[in-house]
Structure 1
Amino acid sequence: MSAGVENLDDSQLLNLGIQRAYEDNAEQPARLSDETVLALREALGQPDPQLESSAPIVVHPGDVCDWDVDGVELEDGTSTELRRGAVIDLPLGYHYAIAKDRRRRLIVSPGRCVLPTTRQWGWTAQLYATRSKKSWGIGDFADLGELADLARAQGAGFVLVNPLHAGGSSRRQEPSPYFPTSRQFLNPVYLAVHEVAGAAQLGSRLAELESMGRALNESVHIDRDSVWRCKREALRAIFDHTRAGESPEFLEWRRRRGAVIEQFACWTLLSERYPGGWPTWPGEFRRPDSPAVRSFAQRCADDVAFIVWLQWQAEQQLRSAGSGSQILQDLPVGVDPEGADAWAYQDLLALGTGIGAPPDPFNAAGQNWQLPPFVPWRLRAADYQPFIDAIHATIALGGGLRIDHVMGLFRLWWIPGGMSPDRGGYVRYPASDILDIVALESVRANAPVVGEDLGTVEAGVREELARRNILSYRLLWFEENPPRQWPRQALAAVTTHDLPTVAGVWSGRDLTDQREAGIDADAEATARLRQLLVTKAGVGAGASAAEAVDAAYDLVSHAPCLMVSATLDDACTQEHRPNLPGTQVASNWSRALPLTLAEIAEDPRVDGLARHLTAAVGETTE
């Protein structure tokens, strides 16, 4: 054995978070190598010896207080009594237990998430791809509101959209919504310029930029950088012309958001000045709390205010889009290592380590998503605040949450720097506490939570998610059992953004796309999906793509699942999937739907599918 490992048995390693023995994707026993264990130990660091006496306490109403405490400082600023041995009867929320002048975070959680009140169906959409004639080359928050109105009129109960988080700097946009710079803030590229107060005052200048922006709709390719150049110029002109930074409403909102949003604005501006990622910036700017950053913020006060104002506008427009509708936002599993959150939380992350997935039948070499993981003990020492902020920001405005790779709340596949994905290893997280935080935010927002539990799922995870009222995922492309046998506490769907569309399978276009992207495509796998449509959905050999879509969703609509989802890509018989994993093709996350929103509203294929789902699944209750 390697030095430093021989004195630790599996249980001791597990106490550090390292799961040395596990089952692989084929459910066969597997063990980490000594080299991997040593690398993971180095990445994890040495836990604070005082952590167990200072880490957050997470409880449920009715639990018995089993720690020394003199009282509780409630999050509303008031105080109340609590003593060891007493039954906990405190409001849900984030409080502080006080003992001998020491404060320790006390989280009171309901333990379970909110469930949908009725069985319902909804559209899944990539917002960037869902354009209207008013769009500036990309689907925006106004388009989301229009889609939500259409969905509600069709009898749908929800709209599920891609992550809307900030991506890249304000000059360079990141195409993948699952590689955000921050999970706390929105991407202002989705702002509908014409809906910003004061836009009309720009007159001919706005008309010129608007013409340039709408001309971008002529291409099926979403050119985010060009879109943002037009929008940023228009938005900055509105900000300056209307003196928006002096608005009392904005100033009050900015005050409530506190230092976190000021840091985000500073990162945005510094990333424009120093391209290449914060680890390569001049040393004085590499830490957000440095005197140099504070001085920079003072010198660039107007620019900082503008970046913060963009977030205010984005929050207002997203809230307006979701008014009267249930919009589920998606939470990515991590953040860009060179982004704003990584800069802000650099002391809590295992920088240089990537989150990914072990080898499986779809990726024989495993996957490295290049996202740095939080160090579990450091996250606890930080009172879980970064995770709380990410969940709250993603669930509070929309009315629902999808958690990408929900298994990561239990454990994540860490890939130490310089190692290939197949040489990574599992690091465990305090799942009970984390799930309680998700439940608390769900109840506060009155919003259901869906967990994307596809891929390698360890035993017991789905059962625990069900106990917590987190809906599972069931895909027609993956499930062996017929939809009628799928669980009630789940979201039923045919496919996802990373998998083939129905039309792509039926026409063979998806197989062609894979080969053109350089993938060693599995023709037999595509043939199996096509055969599934024939044998299980009853699609005839000469059927059209639209008929194949209708048959697939007719089959899925019979699932007893609380939520049934249909993609707009399928409804429009789009042959290309939104993303081909493991490739760098230009179309990834950048292909618009073949129909505008107005055309979608009038298309008989879309209308027919919506009518069928409403009849089969049932209208939502208002």
Structure 2
Amino acid sequence: MARVGHRQRVSADFDGGIDAWGIQHRWLDAADAEHEVADATVDRLRTVIGEPPVDLEATAPVVTRPGRDLGLGRVQVTCEDGSERVVDGVLPADFPLGYHQLRTADGTERRLVVSPGRCWLPPQATWGWTVQLYAARSAASWGIGDLADLRTLRTWTEGDGGGFLLVNPLHAVAPTLPQEASPYLPATRRFRNPLYLRVEEVPGHEPVDVDVDAVRTLAAESLVDRDAAWTLKRAALAAAHARSGGDDAFAVWRAGRGDALEGFATWSALAEEHGPDWRRWPEALQDPTSADVAAYREAHAGEVGFHAWLQWQLDEQLRAATGALTVIQDLPIGVSGGGADAWVWQDTLAQGITVGAPPDALNTLGQDWGSPPLTPWRLRAADYEPFIESVRGTIAGAGGLRIDHVMGLFRLWWIPDGSGAADGAYVRYPSDDLLDIVALESHRARAVVVGEDLGTVEPGVAEALAERRILSYKVLWFEEDDPAQWPGAALAAVTTHDLPTVAGLWTGTDAEDQLEATDMPEADVRRGRADLLEKLTRDGLAEGASAAEAVAAAYRQLVRAPSLLVSLSLEDAVLEQRRPNVPGTTERENWRILLPVPVDELGASEDVARLVRLASGEV
């Protein structure tokens, strides 16, 4: 996501003036100054949010835990497994966790979500790598890192004693040109991007399908060329599908994924014909439930089946890549407004709104991330299904979840179309329900959950995350305390994809990059760099030290953290000076920068080995 933040705590006695629509009328900026939301903004947001049905409170899902009183009197519950139970008041301590259906005495039916209230945690502390998978190419990949490269990273990490990989979002974008570069603006949060397939490992592939010269050209590029890679892969994958797409195992897998997969595959086929934004399609195709869409699906069964088959191949290759290692996948805060999820759930999204962040200390212009938000009451009316499917689809097959901007489960900064990023307002969400759903999905998948809690953190957030055993995200660049004082229930890191690499910070090239790429005032950029340098040099790093020495100094600090997960950045390990993303611009080569050391050569790098020794406690 094109965004950045710092950790700012809002004072506990601040009253934001929340109205019946969930709109917060006042907010505090990074300097603790209070701002009033414009009346025109409030009016516009109220219009978009609309009025919930009068019976919503009687029909919305009940999200609870064993041992709690449902507050509904005597109810009949049909459990997921088909069994029937009667509950009178308190839910028994042994009541099965999961998604059930209850019926009250007056015949009203509603979803019952029973959560353990706590996420799964690994049994012991470990270290691992943060990886931008698209950047982690090898000699065999087609100019972009793929799932076979992830498998290489996994076996290498396991061999060195590491316990996890944290990867960028792997979600699908539109199967059209130009390809969306940002992993944080996907078309869906439920399905994955076929650009990450290793073509040679799909069934039905033949070498004759590959333009070898074009692949060599891609491999020689210094930046990821997604358009060229997708053009080549799309053709080779289509040829492989033509040979093997009728596999019985695929038919069984496809049937098990149900309507969700069919809807995504149909959107993908339509996008190839009519463009990546469903809002610009012929009107009859804009409604996913229409007879015209059903007729299209039947008439174009081959194209729809191809896109479903791609997801099967992604599922197979991801599971082979991760093995038993925990791979923490990233859940973006939202999706493209023209994408597959927005098409399927258009009635649940707030149309004419995008989400972002107000101005703060590290981005004084504010931020607009481009994704439409889910309308809180409509999300409840949809039985939380869009959220559940997004969490489950992201967490599947890998053992970990990082929730981008986890504060968005409490409130989101809504920006009306045509307004600047500073001219928005916070809108509240049913955070208790959403967090307990995360805990249930974590429990089922035995997946660790990390909440990216960087930014303006209001009272109660840290406590709510800790109660659910959602790990905090501790970043050296933002923390005043020595890492030795950081909590155990955290993922510890030096930097993030939106922040300077150690080498870039130390040499000053990152500040120059930021000045060239954005409109941020030079004084703000220079001040930000000076603040981060104070963190880097607090152990006495010499002024004339090399970039490699600066990286070692940063990670000597980091490994003092008692945190459950300690994350090493591959960019830092190979002394890359450019951060993956400079927030606030689309002109720079964001999300395209390749690691200067191929994946299959990382094991021979002394700079990489130095970080491994630090993380392993050998130096």
Q: State if a TM-score over 0.5 links the two structures.
A: yes
Alignment of 1:280-359 (within 5 A): 280-359=280-359
Following superposition, the deviation at residue 403 of structure 1 comes to 0.5
Unmatched tracts of structure 2, length 5 or more: 1-14
Match status 1:93 vs 2:95? no
Of stretches 499-508 and 510-519 in structure 1, the one that deviates more from structure 2 is 510-519
From 523, 527, 530, give the equivalent of 1:524: 527
Aligned AA (1:492): A
Q: CA deviation at 1:211?
A: 4.7
Which residue of structure 1 aligns with residue 447 of structure 2?
447
Matches within 5 A, 1:40-189: 40-85=45-90, 87=92, 89-99=94-104, 100-189=106-195
C-alpha displacement at 1:158, in angstroms?
0.5
Q: Name 1:209's counterpart in structure 2.
A: 211
* CA distance in structure 2 between the partners assigned to 1:486 and 1:213 by the alignment: 46
1:387-439 deviation per Cα after TM superposition (whole angstroms, max 9, x unaligned): 00000011121100100000000000011222222121010000000000000
Distance 1:231 1:78 in 2: 47
Report SS of the residue matched to 2:148: helix
Bigger mean CA offset, 601-610 vs 181-190: 601-610
- 8 A contact 2:16–2:27 mirrored in 1: no
> In 2, Cα distance between the equivalents of 1:448 and 1:81?
33
CA distance in 2, matches of 1:276, 1:309: 20
CA–CA distance in structure 1, aligned partners of residues 79 and 326 of structure 2: 31
Which residue type is aligned with residue 79 of structure 1? E
Identify if the C-alpha distance between structure 1 residues 143 and 326 changes in structure 2 by more than 3 Å, giving closer, same or farther. Answer: same
**Paired residue for 2:11?**
none
**CA distance in 1: counterparts of 2:608 and 2:49, whole angstroms:** 50
**Which is further off, 551-560 or 579-588?**
579-588
* Offset, 1:83: 2.6
Residue 142 of structure 1 and its aligned partner are, at CA, apart by 0.6
SS in 2 for 1:400: strand
Deviations 1:509-543 (A, max 9, x none): 11221233244442232233234323x14322222
Confirm or deny: 8 A CA contact 1:64 1:87 kept in the other structure.
no
Distance of 1:549 and 1:136 partners within structure 2: 30
Which residue in the other structure is 1:4 paired with? Answer: none
Mean Cα displacement is larger for which, 34-43 or 267-276? 267-276
1:141, 1:27 → 2: CA distance? 45
Q: Which residue does the alignment assign to 2:7? A: none
Superposed CA offset, 1:285-330 (max 9, x none): 1111111111111110011000000001001111111112110000
Which among 613, 616, 619 is matched to residue 615 of structure 2? 613
Task: For 1:599 and 1:374, locate their aligned partners in 2 and report how far apart those are by CA, in whole Å.
Answer: 43
Shift of the alpha carbon at 1:223? 0.5
Give, in angstroms, the shift of residue 48 of structure 1: 1.0
What is the CA–CA distance in structure 1 between the aligned matches of 2:90 and 2:229, rounded to whole Å? 60
Matches within 5 A, 1:153-552: 153-199=159-205, 202-203=206-207, 205-206=208-209, 208-242=210-244, 244=245, 246-275=246-275, 277-519=277-519, 520-521=521-522, 522-534=525-537, 536-552=538-554
CA contact (8 A) 2:137 2:145 kept: yes
* Conservation of the 8 A alpha-carbon contact between 1:135 and 1:214: no
Structure 1 residue 276: deviation in Å?
5.8
Match of 2:606 among 583, 604, 607: 604
Shift in Å, 1:101? 4.5
Q: Distance in 1 between matches of 2:485 and 2:130?
A: 23
Amino acid in structure 1 at the alignment position of 2:594 = A
Note the C-alpha offset of 1:85. Answer: 4.9
For residue 69 of structure 1, report the CA deviation from its aligned partner: 4.3
Q: Deviations over 1:109-138 (max 9, x none)?
A: 000111232111110010000011110111
The CA deviation at 1:86 is: 5.6
SS in 1 for 2:422: helix
CA contact (8 A) 1:134 1:214 kept: no
Partner of 1:82, secondary structure, is strand
DSSP-derived class of the 1:371 partner: coil
CA contact (8 A) 1:163 1:331 kept: yes
The size of the alignment, in residue pairs, is 601
Q: How far off is 1:486 after superposition?
A: 1.4
Whether contact under 8 Å (2:254, 2:308) holds in the other structure is yes
- Residue matched to 1:592: 594
- How much has 1:260 moved relative to structure 2? 1.5
The one-letter code sitting in structure 1 at the alignment partner of 2:198 is: A
CA distance in 2, matches of 1:41, 1:492: 39
8 Å contact from structure 1 (residues 133, 214) kept in 2: no
RMSD: 1.7
Q: Deviations over 1:152-177 (max 9, x none)?
A: 11111100000000022344421000
Distance in 2 (CA, whole Å) between partners of 1:113 and 1:453 is: 17
Decide whether aligned partners of structure 1 residues 170 and 261 sit closer, same or farther in structure 2, where only a CA change above 3 A counts.
Answer: farther
Distance 2:406 2:91 in 1: 35
Q: CA deviation at 1:577?
A: 0.4
Q: CA deviation at 1:192?
A: 0.5
Is structure 2 residue 566 aligned with structure 1 residue 564?
yes
TM-fit CA distance, 1:221? 0.8
Aligned equivalent of 1:6: none
8 Å CA contact retained: 2:161, 2:616? yes
Q: What's the TM-score once normalised by structure 2's chain length?
A: 0.94
Deviation at 1:195, TM superposition (A): 1.2
CA distance in structure 2 between the aligned counterparts of 1:239 and 1:276, rounded to whole angstroms: 23
Check the 8 A contact 2:490/2:565 in 1, yes or no. Answer: yes
Paired with 2:17 and 2:330, the residues of 1 have a C-alpha distance of: 35
Residue pair 1:558, 1:616 contacting (<8 A) in 2 also = no
Distance in 1 separating the partners of 2:314 and 2:40: 46
- Letter paired with 1:238: A
Counterpart in the other structure of 1:16: 21
Q: Distance in 1 between matches of 2:216 and 2:565?
A: 35
Deviation at 1:593, TM superposition (A): 0.2
- Maintained 8 Å contact 2:151/2:321: yes
Q: What SS is found at the alignment partner of 1:528?
A: helix
- Give distance in 1, aligned partners of 2:93 and 2:434: 20
Unaligned 5+ segments in structure 1 are 1-9, 618-622
C-alpha spacing 1:542/1:54, structure 2 compared with 1 (3 Å): same
Which residue of 2 is the match for residue 7 of structure 1?
A: none
Closer/same/farther in 2, CA of residues 86 and 75 from structure 1, 3 Å limit: closer
Sort the Cα spacing of 1:225 and 1:616 in 2 relative to 1 into closer, same or farther, 3 A: same
Give secondary structure in 2 for the equivalent of 1:298. helix
Alpha-carbon distance in structure 2 between the residues aligned to 1:315 and 1:234: 18
| Contact map agreement 1:557 1:616 (CA 8 A) in 2 | no
Matched, 1:38 2:40: no
Select between 484-493 and 378-387 the one with higher mean Cα deviation: 484-493
d(CA) in 2 for partners of 1:48 and 1:75?
Answer: 27
Q: Deviation of residue 189 (structure 1)?
A: 0.4
What SS does the aligned partner of 2:616 have?
helix
